[in-house]
Each structure stands twice: as C-alpha cells, then as structure tokens.
Amino acid sequence: MTAQPLLAAPHTHTVFTVSRTMLAVVLALAPATFFGLYQFGWPAVFLFCVTVLSAYLFELACLWVAGKPLGQFARDGSALLSGWLVAMTLPPYAPWWVGVIGSGIAIVIAKHLFGGLGQNLFNPAMVARAMLLIALPVQMTTWVPPVGLFDGPGFVHSLAITFAGSTEFDAVSSASTLSHIKSQLGAGASMGAITPDLADLKARLIGLVPGSMGETSTVLILLGGLALVFMRIITLAIPLSVLGTIAALSAIASSLAPDRFAPPILHLTSGSTMLCAFFIATDYVTSPVSALGKMLYGIGIGALIFVIRTWGSFPEGVAFAVLLMNACTPLIETYVRPRVFGRTRTGKPLPIAKPKRSAKDTGAKA
Amino acid sequence: MSVLPTLGTLFRPSQLFSFKGVHPDPRKYLSSESEIETMPIPTLIRLPLQQHIGAEAEPVVQRDDYVLKGQLIAKARGPVSANIHAPTSGRVIAVGHFTAPHPSGLPVPTITIRPDGEDTWGPHLPRIRPENATPEEIAAQVAEAGIVGMGGATFPSAVKLNLRAKYDLHTLVINGAECEPYLTCDDRLMRERAEEIADGIGIMGRALGVKQIIVAIESNKPQAIDAMSRYNRALDYTFQVKVVPTQYPMGSEKHLVRLLTGKETPARALTADLGVVVHNVATAHAVHNAVRYGEPLITRIVTVSGRGIKRPANVKVLLGTPVSEVIAHCGGFVEEPDRLLLGGPMMGQPIANRRVPIVKGSNGILALTRAETPGNEVMPCIRCGRCVQGCPVGLTPFEMNARIQADDLDGAAKIGLMDCLTCGCCSYNCPANISLVQTFHFAKGKLAEKQSRKHQAEETKRLAAARQAREEAIAEAKRQAMAKRKAEMDAKKKADAAKAAAAAATAATAQGEANP
C-alpha cells in the first residue's frame, strides 16, 4: 500500500530544483570566469579557488552551527554560487585573506545571520564587496593588466603574490576604466581629453582591460546572461531595466555636457555593469518577484549606479546601488503585486458588465 | 532530465518575459492511441450516494432488492443533487458505508450491488425528440438521467442547463481542452464519437437557448480537432471549433472563457454573468445518450495510464467498478506504483484503498512510478518567483505560504487565498518542492471552519437574544393578561358588591315594606 502521510497534488514536477538552478547560473558564469582567470594568470586562479573553497567551508560550518541537515543543504549549490560571485568581483592579485574575508562576510554575515538560504535581505556577494571596498581600499583597488596565463607571473611567483603578500608586480601603471575616468574628471580633465587614454571598445567588450577577476569580458557575461534567459532561469525584466536606465541617463547627461559625463557605451562596457544586470541584480532572494516590481527595482539600480559613478566618491557604484535597492525590495513587494484574475488592481471584483436577464424574455429562443 | 527546458518552450518569445501557466510534460502518448474498450461487468459495484457537488442522493432501494440496469436506486435530494442509477442488473447486497474514492479514505454512504451477469435493462427513460422538446423538457431529462459535469467538477448538469432562467446567455463553450497530463479519455471520445458529441452539444445549446457554440480543443489533439470539425452541426447550430494553446490550466472554466471571448469573469461571479456557460465534451455525450436513447448516466470513460500500468488504455467502465478491477483489466502493474491516483497528475487525488469505486467524476486512474513523481526533499523558499509567474490567477503563492506558516490566515486571505483555484501550477513550478497547494487547501479549510464557527456563534447569540425577547414578551403578555384579569375581577367584584349592596338594599326595602 502506498499510504504515505504527505501525498498532495500535483503529482508531477518541473525539472527545476534549487540546486539545478544554482548550477545553471554557475555554468552561465563559467565562460566569463575562465576567460578572466586565463587573462589574469595564476594569482587569479589561486584567489578564485581559495575564495570558493572558503565560501563552501563557511557554509558547512554555519549549517552545522544552525543544526540544519548538512547533506541536503550542502548540495544546494548556493554557497558555490555566492563564493563564485564574490571571487569574480575581487581584484585578481589580491592576497588570499581578502578572498577568505569576502566569502566569510558573504556567507556568515550576509546569508546565515539572516537565517540562511532564502532569508537574506541583501545580496551576499554585494555585501562582501561593499564591506571589502570600504575596509580594504588599497587591496580592493589594485588593478593589474591582463597579460594572459603564460606571460604573467610564474607558478611559484604567483603563489608568493597570493599567499605570501609579495608585491613584486606592476600594479601602479594600470587603473580600471572607471577609476581612470573618475580620477581624471575629478582632476578637471574633459571627457574628450581622457578618451584616448582608455582602452578601446573592442578590448572592453572582449575583456582585455584591467578590472576585477571575472567582470572584464562584457561579451561573455552578456552571453551567459542570455543563456540564463533562454533557460528560463531569469526574465529580461531586470537586465533590460538596469541597462536601459544607465544608458538613458548617461545618454541624456553626455548629450547635455559631453565633456563632463561618460557616454553610455562606456558605462555599459565597463566595471561590473553587465555582471550586475544579469547575475547580481537578478538574484532571486533579494529582488522583487512581480514583473512590474522587477522593472522598478532594475530602474532604481540603474539610476543609482549612474549617480554613484558620476557624483559619488567611488568610481564604481554597483555594490551600493544593489544593496540600496535590496533594502527597497520589501517595500516594492508590498505595493506592487500582480492583478488577481477577476479583480481590479485594488482587489475589488470587476464590475459585472451584463445585467441579469429580466423575466419577460425568458421564454424566447434564438 | 536536464537543466535545459524542452526545445518547444525555448522558442516562445512571450515566455522570455512572463511564464503564465505551466507546460507539464503531457505524456498523453501512453494511452492516446488506444481505442476506447468496454470493460466486462465487474464482480461488485459500489455506488457512493455522493458523486456530485451538492446534497447526497437518497437511496430508494433496500438490501436484497433486485435491480435492473438503468433503474433508479437513489434519487436527488434538493435542488442541487443528482440521481443515481444501477449500472447493471443484480442484487443490492448492502446499503451502508464504504471507503470513499478520496484521499481521506473515510467511509461514505454507499449502495453495493452484486451483478448477476445478465445485464438486463429495466425500462429506459422516455426518449424525447430534442427538435420538438422545450428547453425545460430537455433539462428535466438531463436531471432525470443523473448527469453531472464529467470533466471532474461533477456539478449537476441540469442545474447549469436551467441557468437560462436567471441569466442572459449567448454562448455555450464546450470544453475539450483536457489540459491535465496523461488523460486522454476526452480526446478518444472526440475522435471516436464526434457525431454523438455534436448531437449532445446541439441539444445543450437548445436547452440553454444560446446564439453561438464554441468547441475548444487544445492544439495537441489534432485528430480530435479534425473529428469535431467534421461534425460541427447539430439541431440548428453550426459550431466553431477553436484550437487553444496546449497549456495548463487551459481547461479552467474562467480562463477558457477569457481566452475565447476576451472577457474576464469577475471574482465571486459565474461565467453565466458574462452570458457564457461551459460544459465538458463527455457531458455532451452523456446528454446525447440520455435524450436520444433514454439512457441514464451509468458508464464513463476512464484513462488508465502512467508508467506503472502494463497496458495503458481508455476504458469504458460501469460506474461503481472497483479501481483494482480496472487495473487488472489493463494487465496490472509493471512495478508497484509510487502513487496511485484518481484523476490527472496536477489535481488528482491519491487513493490508498484500491477497492474504491469509479464514480461519475473519475476521469483517470494513474499509476505513477517513482521516476514520474516529485521527490520529497523540500528546500527553503528562495523567492525565485516561479510560483508567481506560473499562477494563472495572479496570486503570490510564496507569500501566501509564508503567511499561512506564520499562522496568519487572515493575512493570507487578504492577498487572495480564497481566489486560489488549487490548480497546482505553483507547486509544479516550485524548485524548492514546497507543497504550496496542500498548504492552501489546509488554510482554506481552516478559514471555512473559522467562518462557520463565527457564523455559529453569531447564530447562537441571535437565537439566545430572540429567545430572551420572546420570553420577555410572553412574561409581559402574561403580566398584562394578569393585570387585565385582575382589573376585570376587581370590576366584577365591584359590580358584584354593588349588585349585592343594591340587592340588599332592595331586600331591606322590600322587607321594610313587608314589615312596616
């Protein structure tokens, strides 16, 4: 007899599960990550491994402390994804402990202190990034040029860079696109004067520019994001509204004052704009669920990114923009809900259009 | 299984923005090519008195009575109820209780018949010619035949045919969507009995007095669409056969009407308020049999499917046939099923006891193997919003679930719990495998109980107040009567005294006169 206590309809299920979803996101991130790792060489590979591994260990420790079933939650892949995203936003030559602290902040503080999987108010990777950026400004803004795995520091030298704090590498000469713009505009230079110094568009698209470990290749991130859309893991609502808002605001600004504002294409292809639009802002747990809510949320992020990049004191504003909008998510959720079938937006039943039939024409037949 | 969706869903541009409704794997091929076969008479027939929505039928036979095929054995009680007839000839061996074809497995009043194998027909219902019959006569015949909605809702059809008295009806929609995966009984019926269904549709159209008739069939049933398009005239009607997208829950009445007419039925209203009535194809077939041949509803077509069944089939069975005998007729199990269901996989009910009978609303028996059923590992909600995207009603199931788990039933009701169809799209979609629908069923039951408690308390209060008022009124009346009586008595006494005094005076005078 199949007399189980819990047997409720439906008796069939999609192929989507939490762990498959996480795995799909990781797969979509993989091309951009591995391209970044190749570009930045061994130190990046070590830092990446340390970060992901420590995220996983922190996850296990937290689960154990919280008394949650290890076997089930350790396989869900969420720690892998959080650690992966933290690693992608780190500067490639940062020492190992930056990665460990980052994943510790993401997993322990941002995720498990709030109650674990699905309970966090803020995006773990962005909490880690924002905290690291404020606490460790030097390590978090030390950029190196992408020279490729075989032309960069050797294996042993790389071990020294990541694990022994060696600073024997050429970091000063290179700055990320956004920090360069920020410092030059701040120094009073005009946009027209800065532009020749910047990497050309093709380099920014492919990812041949200094930057965080996995954020440089705009095209690969875009492809990964579109793959997620086609796999129906995410909808286009958030990416389109984030990118659209940044593009629209910067287009307006740069057409009004071309010398003081970066043009849209620069905003879209630099920093972590693409990664944010497709992988960070679309984080399920911390974004609204309704389509309209998602759009409002995306517009908010896009606008904040533009504002922080342009007038803030940090060259990149993605982490702060995402965290601020994360805080707005419950508010959006409360006021923006889907319309219920047969009801108006306010929840009243729709008016009944036709009056009830009067008694006199009851007998008539068409 | 892979992370990737099927190719079909990949290239549907609208789905990149919103995924309303769901597309479960149909798996109809298991039984869709098996012709409808008639199952031999079973060894025992068990007929629950409640096979429909509304009041339970009232038995009109007793133990040891001999009944003929088609004989009325339980009659409708009240305006919303349905007759039940003997599916074959035999002896009534019990009028008692038997396990319900329902997950509760509770005993329900049931008439048990041991068939004699002769299958002797009793008198048929009088045949009527729908061409000449009035709508009322047709509806009465349908009521007499005990026909209910055969799609699974089991609402008495005659009540729906009588809606013309109250509503201005213009469209009859015939629901041949059959959106539940696995089920193919309506599909086969349309392929094989299109002409009879068409006639039944015409009869219902006449009974309702509608202007147009639409037959809606999902796009995954091309043969059924062909067959129904060939037989698209009956009585004075020519009906449109409309192909609707293959999507769950396409067969939901209000959603089907919105798709076909563009009009949305207001919450808490009926499609009849829009002038539209929806009937199932199998109901149309039953109406045809009842009106043209005077046959009551004593059989139905059941899809027996699932990978656990040796020979998936569409079987015409007598109502009351035990599920176990239908399964045995289909060769038994390949392997012990993980779940045995009555109905489709999205809304069907698991049954524990295999001797429960087929009833009027049973459209399928599914034996699902472990590979076909969801696992039972439940993860926390990750707010992915798939439940919201899938919900055909526009609810936020994850939020309702959270509120119910926090024991905030009123909060859940405020965000639309009572509008939930319990169609199962949210649970189907949920990557965390949270049993959302089950929670909603529970909460709805709890709320209904609370409501009825409240109602009961109010009613008690009202009755107590009424009683007090009544008693006071009686006491008051008594007091008044007493006072009146007292007044009368006093008056009488006074009068008597006066009289006596007068009499005494007269007597004294008389005496005085007599004795001067």
- The ipTM, to two decimals, is 0.84
Confidence of residue A4 (pLDDT cuts 50, 70, 90): very low
Pair B30, B182: CB distance under 8 Å: yes
Rg of chain B's alpha carbons, rounded to an integer? 32
Question: A351: which chain B residues are within 8 Å (Cβ-Cβ)?
Answer: 266
Least confident of A24-28, A340-344, B55-59: A340-344
Q: What is the CA radius of gyration of chain A?
A: 24
Q: Residue B91: pLDDT band by 50, 70, 90 thresholds? A: very high
Type of residue numbered A267: H
From A236, A285, A350, residue closest to B266, measured CB to CB = A350
Chain-centroid distance of CA A325 in Å reads: 13
Residues B270 and B141 in one domain: yes
Confidence (pLDDT) at A172: 52
Residue B384 sits in the same domain as residue B495: yes
- B111 sits in which H/E element: strand B107-115
Give pLDDT, residue B513: 55
Chain B residues within an 8 Å CB radius of A287: 383
What domain count does chain A have?
1
Find the CB nearest B267 among A12, A333, A342.
A342
Residue A240 covered by a domain: yes
Q: Whole-model pTM?
A: 0.83
- A138 C-beta neighbours (distance < 10 Å), count: 7
Indicate whether A362 belongs to any domain. no
- Comparing CB atoms, the residue among A15, A117, A352 nearest residue B1 is A15
Cβ distance A81 to A26 under 8 Å? yes
Q: Which residues of chain B make contact with A231, given a CB cutoff of 8 A?
A: 3-5
Say if B24 falls within a structural domain: no
* CATH at residue B264: 3.40.50.11540
Q: Tell whether B7 lies on the interface with A, counting CB pairs under 8 A.
A: no
Q: What is the domain range of residue B233?
A: 135-293
Q: How far is CA B381 from the centre of its chain?
A: 33
What's residue A346's pLDDT? Answer: 80
Indicate the residue among B293, B323, B340 that finishes a domain: B293
The answer on B383 and B261 residing in a single domain is no
Residue A200 reports pLDDT greater than 90: no
Residues B399 and B271 reside in one and the same domain: no
Residue A279 belongs to a domain with what CATH number? 1.10.3430
Tell me the nearest-neighbour CA distance from A268 into chain B, angstroms. 22
Same domain, B167 and B276: yes
Q: Is residue B5 part of a domain?
A: no
Among B7-16, B220-229, B505-514, the minimum mean pLDDT is found in B7-16
B38, part of any domain = no
Structure tokens at A273: 């704009």
**Residue-wise burial string across B318-336, b where 16 or more C-beta atoms lie within 10 A, e elsewhere:** bbbbbbbbbbebbeebeee
* Any A CB within 8 A of B262 CB: no
Average pLDDT estimate for B371-376: 80
Residues B179, B247 contacting (CB under 8 angstroms): yes
Provide the total of helices (H) and of strands (E) in chain B, helices listed first. Answer: 15, 19
Whether the pLDDT of residue A355 is over 80: the answer is no
- DSSP letter at B309? B
Mean pLDDT value across chain A = 85
pLDDT digits (tens, 9 = 90+) for A138-186: 888 888 888 877 777 788 888 888 787 777 666 555 667 787 788 777 7
> Which residue, B41, B46, B30, is CA-closest to B314?
B30
Comparing C-alpha atoms, which of B218, B214, B202, B206 is closest to residue B173?
A: B214
Strand-by-strand arrangement of the B58-59 sheet: B58-59, B72-75, B84-85
In this prediction, residue B508 carries a pLDDT of 67
Q: How far apart are CA A102 and CA A87, in angstroms?
A: 8
Question: Pick from B293, B316, B337: which residue ends a domain?
Answer: B293
Residue A228 lies in a domain: yes
Q: How far is A190 from chain B (nearest CA, A)?
A: 41
What is the pLDDT of chain B when averaged over all its residues? 87
- Percent of chain A whose pLDDT exceeds 90: 40
Decide if pLDDT at B11 tops 50: no
Cβ pair B364, B348 in contact under 8 A: yes
- Give a yes or no: residue B200 inside a domain: yes
Q: In total, how many domains does chain B have?
A: 2
Among residues A91, A68, A75, A80, which one has the least CA distance to residue A25?
A80
In a domain, B19, yes or no: no
Structural domain of A99? 18-335
- Interface contact A11-B264, CB threshold 8 A: no
Render B487-502 in DSSP notation, one character per residue.
HHHHHHHHHHHHHHHH
Q: Is residue B267 part of a domain?
A: yes
Residue B468, pLDDT score: 93
- B139 part of contact set with chain A, CB < 8 Å: no
Instruction: Please report the pLDDT score of residue A171 as a whole number.
Output: 55
**Per-residue pLDDT band at B14 (split at 50, 70, 90):** very low
What CATH number has the domain bearing residue B473?
1.10.1060
The strands making up B240-244's β-sheet, listed across from edge to edge, are: B240-244, B212-218, B171-176, B276-280
Burial A148-184 (b: 16+ CB within 10 A, else e): eeeebbeeebbbbbbeeebeebebeebbbbbbbbbeb
Read off the pLDDT of each residue in A1-19 and give the average, rounded to a whole number: 71
Mean pLDDT to the nearest integer, A293-312: 92
> Are residues B285 and B424 both part of a single domain?
no
The first and second tokens of residue A101, run together, are 């602290």
Residue B209 forms contact with A (CB below 8 Å): yes
With beta carbons less than 8 A apart as the criterion, state whether B370 and B395 touch: no
Rounded distance, CA B161 to CA A115, Å?
Answer: 55
Q: Is residue A364 pLDDT above 70, yes or no?
A: no
In a domain, B386, yes or no: yes
Span between the terminal Cα atoms of chain B, in Å: 138
Residues in B closer than 8 angstroms to A9, CB to CB, are: 345-349, 422, 424, 427, 437
Residue B469 within a domain: yes
Mean pLDDT, range A73-98, rounded to an integer: 90
Percentage of residues of chain B with pLDDT beyond 70: 94
- Is there a contact between B381 and B359 (Cβ–Cβ < 8 Å)? no
pLDDT in the model for residue A57: 94
**d(C-alpha B415, C-alpha A50), whole Å:** 45
d(CA A90, CA B336): 54
What pLDDT is recorded for position A186? Answer: 77
- Contact call for residues B163 and B169 (beta carbons, < 8 A): yes
